[in-house]
Amino acid sequence: MERASTAHGQLSPSKTRAQAKRKYIASHVPRGALENETNRVGARRVLPSEPDPHNRSLLHGLFHVEAQRREATKMRDQEEQEEQTVRLKQQDQVLSAQRKSANANRAPASSWRGVSDYEYELLRAEQDKVRKALELEVEAQRAEIRTLQEEKSAQSAAHAALLDEVASLRANAALLMRQLATHDDRSRAMQTEAEEIKARNAHLEQELCAAETLRRKLHNQVQELRGNVRVYARVRPPRAGHDGDLAEAEIRFPDGMLATQLEVVANAESATGAATKRTHAFAFDRVFPPSATQKDVFVEVSALMQSVLDGYNTTIFAYGQTGSGKTHTLEGGAEMPSSAIVHDTAGLIPRAMHMVWQVAEKLRAQGWEYEFEAQMLQIYLDHIYDLLGTAASDKEKHEVRHTATHTSVSNTVTVPMHGPQDVFSLLECAKKRRQVAATLMNERSSRSHSVFMLRVRGKNSSTNETSDATLNLVDLAGSERLAASGSANDPTRLKEAQSINKSLSSLADVIAALGNGPNGGAARHVPYRNSTLTWLLKNSLGGNAKTLMLLALSPMAAHLSETLCSLRFATKVHGTHVGQARANKSGAGDR
Task: Name the DSSP class of 534.
Answer: H
* pLDDT computed for residue 327 by the predictor: 85
Q: Which helix (H) or strand (E) holds 179?
A: helix 115-225
3-state secondary structure of 297: helix
* Helices of type H across 310-454: 326-331, 348-364, 422-433
* pLDDT computed for residue 114 by the predictor: 55
Q: Are 326 and 475 in contact (CB under 8 A)?
A: yes
* pLDDT computed for residue 243 by the predictor: 65
State yes or no: 322 annotated in a binding site.
Answer: yes
Q: Give residues with Cβ within 8 angstroms of 56, minimum separation 6.
A: 166
Cα–Cα distance, 451 to 374 (Å, whole number): 10
Superfamily of domain 229-243+294-580: Kinesin motor domain (3.40.850.10)
Cα–Cα distance, 256 to 394 (Å, whole number): 49
State yes or no: 325 annotated in a binding site.
Answer: yes
* pLDDT computed for residue 412 by the predictor: 93
Cα–Cα distance, 215 to 248 (Å, whole number): 45
* pLDDT computed for residue 7 by the predictor: 39
Side chain identity, residue 129: K
State yes or no: 141 annotated in a binding site.
Answer: no
Cα–Cα distance, 221 to 216 (Å, whole number): 9
Q: How far is CA 288 from CA 231, 259, 302, in A?
A: 11, 7, 15
Instruction: Give how far the C-alpha of residue 216 lies from the chain's centroid of Cα atoms, to the nearest Å.
Output: 32
Burial class (CB in 10 A: 0-12, 13-18, 19+), 447: buried
Cα–Cα distance, 571 to 515 (Å, whole number): 12
Q: Are 499 and 382 in contact (CB under 8 A)?
A: yes
Cα–Cα distance, 570 to 319 (Å, whole number): 9
∠ CA 427-430-431, rounded to 5°? 85
Cα–Cα distance, 493 to 473 (Å, whole number): 25
Cα–Cα distance, 582 to 333 (Å, whole number): 35
Beta strands in 111-239 (DSSP E): 229-235
β-partners of residue 373 are 416, 455
pLDDT tens per residue, the chain (591 residues)? 444 344 334 444 455 555 555 555 555 545 554 455 445 544 444 444 455 555 667 777 777 788 888 888 888 888 888 888 888 888 888 888 888 877 776 655 555 455 567 788 888 889 999 999 999 999 999 999 999 999 999 999 999 999 999 999 999 999 999 999 999 999 999 999 999 999 999 888 888 878 877 776 676 566 566 555 789 999 999 887 666 677 899 999 998 888 889 999 998 887 787 888 999 999 998 999 999 999 999 988 887 888 888 888 888 989 998 888 888 898 887 555 555 456 788 888 888 888 999 999 999 998 999 999 999 999 988 999 999 988 777 788 899 998 877 889 999 999 999 888 888 888 888 878 775 444 434 444 467 899 999 999 999 988 899 999 999 989 888 766 655 555 556 778 788 888 888 998 898 888 888 777 665 566 678 899 999 999 998 887 766 678 889 999 999 998 899 999 999 989 988 877 766 667 777 765 444
Query: Over the range 334-356, which residues count as b (16 or more CB within 10 Å of their CB) and which as e?
Result: eebeeeebebebbbbbbbbbbbb
Burial class (CB in 10 A: 0-12, 13-18, 19+), 382: middle
Task: Name the DSSP class of 247.
Answer: P
Give this prediction's pTM: 0.60
State yes or no: 16 annotated in a binding site.
Answer: no
Q: How far is CA 289 from CA 226, 244, 247, 529, 557, in A?
A: 21, 20, 17, 36, 16
State yes or no: 345 annotated in a binding site.
Answer: no
Q: Give residues with Cβ within 8 angstroms of 469, minimum separation 6.
A: 307, 308, 309, 310, 311, 312, 313, 314, 455, 456, 583, 584
Q: Are 379 and 449 in contact (CB under 8 A)?
A: yes
Torsion of CA 52, 53, 58, 63, to 10 degrees: 80
* pLDDT computed for residue 339 by the predictor: 55
Taking the CA atoms of the chain, what radius of gyration do you get in angstroms? 59
Cα–Cα distance, 105 to 486 (Å, whole number): 166
State yes or no: 407 annotated in a binding site.
Answer: no
Burial class (CB in 10 A: 0-12, 13-18, 19+), 500: buried
- Strand 261-269, strand 436-437: pairing: unpaired
Residue 222 main-chain phi, psi, to 5 deg: -60, -45
* Sign of the alpha-carbon dihedral angle for 232, 238, 243, 249: positive
* Helices of type H across 332-400: 348-364
Instruction: Give how far the C-alpha of residue 366 lies from the chain's centroid of Cα atoms, to the nearest Å.
Output: 24
